[in-house]
Structure 1
């Protein structure tokens, strides 16, 4: 059915239709040879609450990707890790760090209000100035920031002081933290100091809406609000409505999209993909049924612990973990796949093939061929 830009009833998109459209834009229907930096920009950032997932996200999406490519972008400061969407750490291009962080400042302001009880008597303007001087003198750990601020305001809650600095300032995590094959504690400085560029005023959200639809659409207003951690975006969508097309999902929710965005047929093949914990394709919508079947809601995590996810035929069908491997000559590593739905022989073979491909890119040199890929017993979740 065709989309509509007038008063006629809009076409209804099934979960499979939404799935294929989203996977196409997320580069998960087929791998592309797009450079890593271009992919980070197209995807409007990579969820980076942990340090390794951005590498696995690009491994699932890009042909010829190697972790060293993204690591080099981090070391050259062409991409950086910063708290943005949903109050979580994301890896963005330098340009997006400077533009998206101001855009989501209202969410940081809301977060700060939660901690106001612990900030009684604290001059937030002075706190901002003091924290800026601290982290621009040299990158500081969160503990160092808290202790320095607590020395200035001993009656305040140290945790609230640290949160205030994070909310008031665009703090990036400096390397070597997040660089593949290296380690380092969290150390923070301002985006301006790290990137060598001045802060930017908050942009109009219109461009962000269009970029979101290009990477996650078709989508509802609530979908984008859930992805960004923002509210009151209805008026932005209404302002953009004349240039968009609309659909409905099977529950009658209005979905917006770019007129020329790809919307593949429902029967388009979707090969298996191994995704890390917190991949944005799993978190980018208020209604996640386009990727996570309702009966598996919450099965790819427990509390604050999230597991890697395996997509089969485009939908969450298993979780996975890898014991990390080891140096050549050490005991073989084990990659375990826990099906959430019964997988047939052909599906298991395809999942195993994709696991081998992932390991050939991500496992330590000389260990991929020795990794033992195991399927745990299927547990029927109904």
Structure 2
């Protein structure tokens, strides 16, 4: 069985994430190909798409959000993602149990004794008038019947788990600050959420939604292990989907001996393919989309990937962090950069500064920070 080292896996990830070469895809198509972008920080997807798409303009994402081609919703890992509308419709029911379990796992004591189906029905009844509401407004409409839990807990349960919701624009539009206003996904998109198939109705197809998720995940992140797939989406029960699709996949091993699955025709560039400098936003899925992130980030820096630091890829790996503060774009290397690498980082910094268009007057590239 072919063994793929970390560099080979790195180049495969970069190719599929459009970080090896920028793509000419339209925004909605790119969001779908990437299986969505993590978006709890509303402005971060703009930098993520700018680093991946040629001639990307913020208005293109604004238009896709306003035009309902893409949508902001709680999905993978109970995190707000920017996803294609079709994917929100197709995937939401498959994530329903996970979303409930994660909220209950966080607030089990506060929510003890609450009938979730009854609460969900009450929330849907309130939202039936098709008027966007904040989480607070929704909770105020039902809290007389459930006065026990704190408002925040009841709101998270309703909005992030029980009712498939879209976060409406202007939330998530370019350089706009707006609170969260919610509307049921089915109302916003004018389509019902695809139901899960009845148990046993597809005996030869295993888990068809899970199987589609697997193939889409591998197209965006492969080659990858089953644990990576679960880390990305947060779903249990996917081994059946992997087993059902096994004959359609190719299998590799990594240097640790883990079994990795992939689509036969997916790109796996030569490990020595040059990788350009790329500026990534906070919580970028190129890093967070795996259980084993060693293909793109070194162990001493793993905490950066979950702490909201923006990162810089040099030769395909996380090699610096970056911030914008007081009209300065500041880059803090995590290792010593060669003179050509520093030049390439500075050149890309000038490009991202022009894109951000936020009055940045200075670029500072610090010396390397010791591990």
Q: TM-score, normalised by structure 1?
A: 0.90
Q: Provide the residue aligned with 2:102 in structure 1.
A: 111
Query: Which structure 2 residue ranges, 5 or more long, are not aligned?
Result: 197-207
Q: Equivalent residues in 2 for 1:276-315 (5 A)?
A: 276-300=281-305, 305-315=307-317
Question: Which deviations, in whole Å up to 9, do the C-alpha atoms of 1:181-219 show, x marking residues without a partner?
Answer: 333211111001111112211362111100100000000
Question: Which deviations, in whole Å up to 9, do the C-alpha atoms of 1:106-127 show, x marking residues without a partner?
Answer: 2113124323432344332331
Distance in structure 1 (CA, Å) of the matches to 2:266 and 2:243? 19
Q: Which of 92, 112, 127 is the aligned partner of 2:119? A: 127
Distance in structure 2 (CA, Å) of the matches to 1:117 and 1:298? 29
Question: Which deviations, in whole Å up to 9, do the C-alpha atoms of 1:14-61 show, x marking residues without a partner?
Answer: 000000001000000011111111100100111101101111110000
Q: 1:243 to 1:350 in 2, by over 3 A?
A: same
Query: 1:335 Cα deviation (Å)?
Result: 0.2
Secondary structure in structure 1 of the residue aligned to 2:245: helix
Q: Provide the residue aligned with 2:164 in structure 1.
A: 170
Distance in structure 1 (CA, Å) of the matches to 2:238 and 2:305? 29
Q: Equivalent residues in 2 for 1:44-193 (5 A)?
A: 44-114=35-105, 115-137=107-129, 138-166=131-159, 167-193=161-187
Q: Provide the residue aligned with 1:209 in structure 2.
A: 214
Query: 1:300 Cα deviation (Å)?
Result: 4.9
Query: Which structure 1 residue ranges, 5 or more long, are not aligned?
Result: 1-9, 326-332
Q: Which of 346, 352, 356 is the aligned partner of 2:350? A: 356
Q: Which of 318, 331, 339 is the aligned partner of 1:345? A: 339
Residue 242 of structure 2 corresponds to residue 240 of structure 1: no
Distance in structure 2 (CA, Å) of the matches to 1:112 and 1:371? 43
Residues 149 and 161 in structure 1, CA contact (< 8 A), matched pair in contact too? no
Q: TM-score, normalised by structure 2?
A: 0.92
Query: 1:130 Cα deviation (Å)?
Result: 1.8
Q: Which of 320, 329, 332 is the aligned partner of 1:335? A: 329
Distance in structure 2 (CA, Å) of the matches to 1:87 and 1:319? 26
Q: Provide the residue aligned with 1:372 in structure 2.
A: 362
Name the stretch that deviates more: 97-106 or 86-95. 97-106
Residues 271 and 314 in structure 1, CA contact (< 8 A), matched pair in contact too? yes
Query: 1:148 Cα deviation (Å)?
Result: 2.4
Query: 1:360 Cα deviation (Å)?
Result: 2.0
Query: 1:372 Cα deviation (Å)?
Result: 0.7
Count how many residue pairs are aligned between Structure 1 and Structure 2: 357
Residues 92 and 193 in structure 2, CA contact (< 8 A), matched pair in contact too? no
Question: Which deviations, in whole Å up to 9, do the C-alpha atoms of 1:356-378 show, x marking residues without a partner?
Answer: 112222224xx4xx631101232
RMSD between superposed Cα atoms in Å: 1.6
